[in-house]
Chain A
């Protein structure tokens, strides 16, 4: 019942904020990391098979690249609403109700969790930097703090993306239907399932 969204990339909301567009370009650019990773793995296998050379650096470089890749992926899924949802009940909900679920989820679960990861991650990076932490294996990579800093950096961007999303949803829920916004939402509703027309100043709990 959980689903990763449509198989092809769904575009972020009707009008992504500039910050979302910038972050999305970052996600696209970072995706080339997988090609690099393929190269590093093949190089490692080649050296080992044909020259009997085992380079621990190459092996460690692999998970350095992979770690950055999956963190950026988590960011991309927030931008494109691709995180897995269980949508048995969501399917039958009006757009407005879905927005309420997302608003509460963002405020009570998603944003606090991202904050927790930042709060617990930043001191670890600082500690790693201060102690000059390096790989435990001989010949491994130094500057471990560089890898570790990817976590707070990407999660800070994740915070930004989640805030942008919260703002967009709150706007949809609370915006007074001014002339052109109302026209746009009318057009939306003509094609989608009919939802209760948000009256101006409607109390927030009416739909939630």
Chain B
């Protein structure tokens, strides 16, 4: 390794140490870009070390931020956030949860399944794992506790669903990944459908199977309503408008009728109408939701801006060639290389949220994977599911940390016991996607007749 590549490795290490101090990730990223440019310049001037970057290079940061500013695809992000926040703050989400769980009154674990169905939709309002787990825990833990569900089961559900929601469209993560890799968001959405549904199906099967085997884990409602046609119709009347909205938004971008940006804007407009039609759209709520959209967008884009600067300097120091050389030098075949990348990603997921990984790591490894002849949509889906697994894995997964934060009375052991089955399910899904790439590639291929 040349000295400048050592500097690249050092920069990455310094960044990890930096964020562990608890200083905001956005500024650690941006600041280390600056600090390491200064170090590189010093080395070059005083020690004659060839580093390949200078201030003119690092000042490209301005151009890179302009690139973020005139990025039409990413307009979808704040719109998805707005849509999710509207559903949450107007009480529509809680109402949905109440209504759907009425249908499952007699089913053990029914409440958990309802939370799974609704949580996946709401995750879009937060964008990052920590926040979506917190939101779901606040929404879902109290009713599950009242219903007498075991703490392991309830917390496991909340963590796993909060994490799955980041993957399943409308997914902010997939939009950003597609943007960074210059592939179509529609393709990636389509590619993620089957794996996402597979995971959701595995989760729901588990949520129903465990209480069936051990009834004390999740008792059925003590006073179940009789599920007759009348109840079903009553529930449907309440659920259908919201469900239609969601399907319209997702459907239009899946099938290429609308771009994700258009779909997100129409979705936000639909959520506004829904809230208004239920007389929940008061001016104070609207003002708060809009403000909260600004702040959520702000913390997401703060990291985008910092990570852009960081990735720029890391590349300038030869980080990309280093990764490419390192990966092609691995003594395994192409599959082994992909597995090594996934394993490294899994480890990185313990310290970094998906945004940093998408900006810094994904663009470095993707060209290598493509050069080995793999499908980029397949790899990205695999990468995303792998990250998700990482966020759930004890002892350091993000999701657990946050669940612990909002449910302080739950002890760590309970959390771990609750989450392990979900980690196992994740590994099953990961293996299936790896062995049958068609899960991710079939739908995009069909949709475009390739």
Chain A residues proximal to chain B, CB less than 8 Å: 1-4, 7, 9, 27-28, 30-32, 34-35, 37-38, 40-42, 44-45, 59, 62-63, 66-67, 69-77, 80, 82-90, 93, 98, 101-102, 104-105, 108-110, 112-113, 116-117, 119-121, 123-124, 147-148, 150-151
Interface size counted on chain B using CB atoms at 8 A? 78
Contact call B296/A4, Cβ cutoff below 8 A: yes
Contact call A121/B65, Cβ cutoff below 8 A: yes
Cross-chain contact of B396 among A1, A27, A31 (Cβ < 8 A) = A1
A-B contacts, 24 of them at CB < 8 A, read A1-B398, A4-B131, A7-B131, A28-B287, A34-B293, A38-B79, A38-B269, A41-B262, A42-B269, A62-B75, A62-B265, A70-B297, A73-B294, A77-B299, A82-B295, A84-B26, A85-B23, A86-B351, A105-B28, A108-B35, A109-B23, A109-B32, A109-B34, A116-B34
Q: CA separation between A104 and B27, bound complex, in Å?
A: 12
Considering only CB atoms, which chain B residue lies closest to A101 in the complex? B21
Distance from A126 Cβ to chain B, minimum over Cβ atoms (Å): 11
| Chain A hits for B79, CB < 8 A | 34, 37-38, 41
Contact call B298/A76, Cβ cutoff below 8 A: yes
| Chain A hits for B297, CB < 8 A | 69-70, 73
Distance from A153 Cβ to chain B, minimum over Cβ atoms (Å): 13
Contact stretch, chosen from B53-61, B218-226, B380-388, B409-417:
B53-61
Q: CA separation between A68 and B32, bound complex, in Å?
A: 25
Cross-chain contact of B266 among A45, A67, A120, A124 (Cβ < 8 A) = A45
Known: A31-B291, A83-B25, A85-B24. 10 other contacts (CB 8 A): A1-B130, A2-B353, A3-B131, A4-B130, A35-B290, A38-B79, A38-B272, A70-B78, A72-B294, A117-B305
Distance from A23 Cβ to chain B, minimum over Cβ atoms (Å): 12
The 8 A CB mask of B10-21 against A (1 = contact, 0 = none) is: 000000001111
User: Is residue B123 within 8 Å, beta carbon to beta carbon, of the partner chain?
Assistant: no
Known contacts A4-B130, A27-B294, A34-B290: does B24 contact A83 (CB below 8 Å)? yes
Distance from B392 Cβ to chain A, minimum over Cβ atoms (Å): 13
Contact call A120/B299, Cβ cutoff below 8 A: no
Q: CA separation between A77 and B261, bound complex, in Å?
A: 24
Q: CA separation between A153 and B242, bound complex, in Å?
A: 40
Contact call B27/A105, Cβ cutoff below 8 A: yes
| Chain A hits for B290, CB < 8 A | 31-32, 34-35
Considering only CB atoms, which chain A residue lies closest to B309 in the complex? A113
Contact call B128/A4, Cβ cutoff below 8 A: yes
Distance from A21 Cβ to chain B, minimum over Cβ atoms (Å): 15
Cross-chain contact of A113 among B34, B60, B135 (Cβ < 8 A) = B34
Distance from A155 Cβ to chain B, minimum over Cβ atoms (Å): 9
Considering only CB atoms, which chain B residue lies closest to A39 in the complex? B269
Top 9 A-B pairs ranked by shortest CB distance? A109-B31, A73-B298, A41-B265, A90-B22, A120-B62, A83-B24, A113-B30, A120-B59, A105-B23
Considering only CB atoms, which chain A residue lies closest to B66 in the complex? A148
Cross-chain contact of A34 among B18, B78, B258, B305 (Cβ < 8 A) = B78
User: Is residue B213 within 8 Å, beta carbon to beta carbon, of the partner chain?
Assistant: no
Known contacts A70-B298, A74-B302, A108-B31: does B82 contact A2 (CB below 8 Å)? no
User: Is residue B292 within 8 Å, beta carbon to beta carbon, of the partner chain?
Assistant: yes
Distance from A103 Cβ to chain B, minimum over Cβ atoms (Å): 10
User: Is residue B402 within 8 Å, beta carbon to beta carbon, of the partner chain?
Assistant: yes
Q: CA separation between A150 and B292, bound complex, in Å?
A: 21
Distance from A129 Cβ to chain B, minimum over Cβ atoms (Å): 14
Instruction: Report which residue of B33, B69, B287 has the largest number of chain A beta carbons within 10 angstroms of its beta carbon.
Output: B69
| Chain B hits for A71, CB < 8 A | 69, 301
Q: CA separation between A141 and B32, bound complex, in Å?
A: 36
| Chain B hits for A31, CB < 8 A | 287, 290-291, 293-294
Which residues 268-319 of B sit at the A interface, judged by CB distance below 8 A? Answer: 268-269, 272, 286-288, 290-303, 305-306, 309
Distance from A136 Cβ to chain B, minimum over Cβ atoms (Å): 10
Cross-chain contact of A147 among B70, B75, B272 (Cβ < 8 A) = B70
Contact call A116/B292, Cβ cutoff below 8 A: no
Contact call B265/A2, Cβ cutoff below 8 A: no
Contact call B66/A151, Cβ cutoff below 8 A: yes
Distance from B251 Cβ to chain A, minimum over Cβ atoms (Å): 14
Which residues 31-66 of B sit at the A interface, judged by CB distance below 8 A? Answer: 31-35, 58-63, 65-66
User: Is residue B401 within 8 Å, beta carbon to beta carbon, of the partner chain?
Assistant: yes
Considering only CB atoms, which chain B residue lies closest to A123 in the complex? B62
Q: CA separation between A59 and B258, bound complex, in Å?
A: 13
Distance from A91 Cβ to chain B, minimum over Cβ atoms (Å): 8
Distance from B262 Cβ to chain A, minimum over Cβ atoms (Å): 5
Distance from A49 Cβ to chain B, minimum over Cβ atoms (Å): 9
Known contacts A2-B398, A74-B302, A84-B353: does B22 contact A116 (CB below 8 Å)? no
Contact call A80/B262, Cβ cutoff below 8 A: no
Considering only CB atoms, which chain B residue lies closest to A8 in the complex? B292
Cross-chain contact of B128 among A2, A30, A80 (Cβ < 8 A) = A2
User: Is residue B371 within 8 Å, beta carbon to beta carbon, of the partner chain?
Assistant: no
| Chain B hits for A102, CB < 8 A | 23
Distance from B253 Cβ to chain A, minimum over Cβ atoms (Å): 12
Contact call A67/B303, Cβ cutoff below 8 A: no
User: Is residue B6 within 8 Å, beta carbon to beta carbon, of the partner chain?
Assistant: no
Q: CA separation between A76 and B301, bound complex, in Å?
A: 12
